[in-house]
A and B are shown apart, each in its own frame.
Chain A
Amino acid sequence: MTNEIMIAGFGGQGVMAIGKTLAEAGMKEGKDVSWLPSYGPEMRGGTANCCVVISEEEIVCPIVLEPTELIAMNLPSLRKFEHDVVKGGTIFVNSSIISEKVERDDVRVINVPCLDIANELGNAKVANMVMLGAYIEAMGNLGTETIKEMLVHMFTGPKAKLVDLNIEALRRGAACVK
């Protein structure tokens, strides 16, 4: 089983962080993982993407050309990458800011209004965690417990109060998956 994931959006939306969390969770579950960012003269508000591979086998090539899953955090990312997704793959759409439809009918589409949910939770910064929650629920390749444990290690001291918020964000994202 190999998941080849493309995660794309505006800089500042937490695209790289979604990827890093997925890669770290995969590693903690004993899988082979790689995380490859696009890099260039980037700036906040510009486009950013990263490729994550999570596999039961040795990962030879970290470059994702035909993703099994696409997480599109904005419209330019959806339009740029949706046609690369493998037939039968899954596209996660940040439906809070993407109003246009996915053009393909041979993929599974999961709409996640992650920014709206994050705002409801009182912190727009957790929009990416809402999306991550949806991904984990839909794909079932990683345990929610693994990510919760990571959050406990990630947010300590004065930041410890963010653990519950992030766990709630994951739960609300998971609830978007039917």
Chain B
Amino acid sequence: MEKELWKGNEAVAEAAIRAGCKYFFGYPITPQNEIPEYLSYHLPKIGGCFLQAESEVAAINMIYGAAGCGVRVMTSSSSPGISLKQEGITYMCGAELPAVIVNMMRGGPGLGTIQPAQGDYFQATRGGGNGDYRHLVYAPATIQEAADYVQMAFDVADLYRNPVMVVADGMIGQMMEAIEWREMPKRELPEKTWATTGTKGERKPNVINSLYIDPNLCAEHNERLAAKYKAMEENETRWEEVNTENCEVLFVAYGTPSRITKAAIKLLEKEGIKAGLFRPITLWPYPSKQLKAAASQESVKAVVDFELSMGQMIDDVKIALEGCRPVTFVGKAGGVVPTPAEVAAAAKAAIGR
């Protein structure tokens, strides 16, 4: 396949179309506006529907409705908009509805800034909605990965009957890189017999709901969901390791910071320090076992967690390591991206050099 130059947001939108998504409901917010812009132009051409809702709250509930009809549907937003969608997300997990939700994260809290940030880690992985729910969170670091994982997200959502979130930051949304449109591995997907497509008088009506009157039935429902989440943990965890074998410093970073870390690793190499990168690609389920294995190597003196937040993923790093190595933090929040030199300096400080 010939390479093509794609802007992150537009690649996300095109990936959705290629994955069979015909419906999009959203509300504008920088830095993800090219996603709705692209889909508003292209979805009507393929017989789909693009709708700009009156608010994010309305948009996420339109997603609920469309997903309930068994079609592939997506919404996208950026941090403050995703906050507004939290109620809809827990309802979709409760009602077991597959959909893809994209968050091009910007600085927070509140309205914050429009520049790249990762302050929504807790929200994405712990959930801002109520109840015991989980959903997959993919964190692409390149435009190629954004295109790949958005396509994959639709399959995974259908496979588990659960929403899937894709989080990137404003930088990945705005930049352009050369990508290839490649076929994603096909998964065998169950038929959507639960969808509310009309009975035609031939079957009992399907009901899509997250309300239980009998607590025993709700408890059973939770057990079943928990088993599903466990299966996701077992089968869907993804990560990348770069230069980790026998490294002295192990960086943990995802998304844009992982790219800056790769530049920092090159700087450290010039000073004779061997540093490696552990990059979670799924933020939930978190690749805890794999991270612990990388960090437990005898060569590793320190683990440095780098985020575009004031330290959120660091909790998962510490949970994974179970105290086996010291963990230090480097990062900035609010839309400022640290330089490779700053990240390299943090690594040197961590090992006392």
Contact = CB atoms under 8 A, between A and B. Distances in A.
Interface string A110-122: 0000000000000
Contacts of B105: none
Contact of B175 (A32, A34, A40, A60): A34
Contacts of B171: 36, 62
Given A20-B176, A32-B178, A39 B5 contact: no
B114 A35 contact: no
A63 B339 CA distance: 9
10 contacts: A20-B176, A33-B177, A34-B175, A35-B175, A37-B175, A41-B114, A60-B262, A61-B260, A61-B340, A62-B259
Contact of B176 (A32, A35, A40): A35
B31 A34 contact: no
Contacts of B170: 39
B259 A35 contact: no
Contacts, number: 53
B303 to A, nearest CB: 20
Interface string A26-47: 0100001111110111000000
Interface of A: 20, 23-24, 27, 32-37, 39-41, 59-63, 65
A178 to B, nearest CB: 32
Interface in B240-291: 259-260, 262-263, 266
B204 interface: no
Nearest to A16: B176
Nearest to B175: A36
A60 B337 CA distance: 15
B174 interface: yes
Q: Which secondary structure characterizes the binding site on chain B?
A: mixed
Count chain B CB atoms within 10 A of each CB in A33, A60, A65 and give the residue with the most: A60
B262 to A, nearest CB: 4
Contacts of A36: 171, 174-176
B187 interface: no
A23 B259 contact: no
B337 A63 contact: yes
Interface residues of B, number: 21
A65 B339 contact: yes
A35 B8 CA distance: 11
Contacts of B200: none
Contact of B114 (A27, A37, A40): A40
A34 B339 contact: no
The 9 A-B pairs at the shortest CB distance, nearest first, are namely: A60-B262, A61-B263, A35-B176, A27-B178, A36-B175, A24-B5, A61-B259, A60-B263, A39-B174
A58 B262 CA distance: 11
A27 B340 contact: no
Nearest to B266: A60
B5 A33 contact: yes
A62 B175 contact: yes
A39 B31 contact: yes
A91 to B, nearest CB: 22
Interface in B100-127: 114-115
Given A24-B5, A27-B3, A39-B170, A34 B263 contact: no
Contacts of A41: 114
A92 B5 CA distance: 25
A59 B259 CA distance: 9
Contact of A35 (B3, B5, B337): B5
A33 B178 contact: yes
Contacts of A33: 5, 177-178
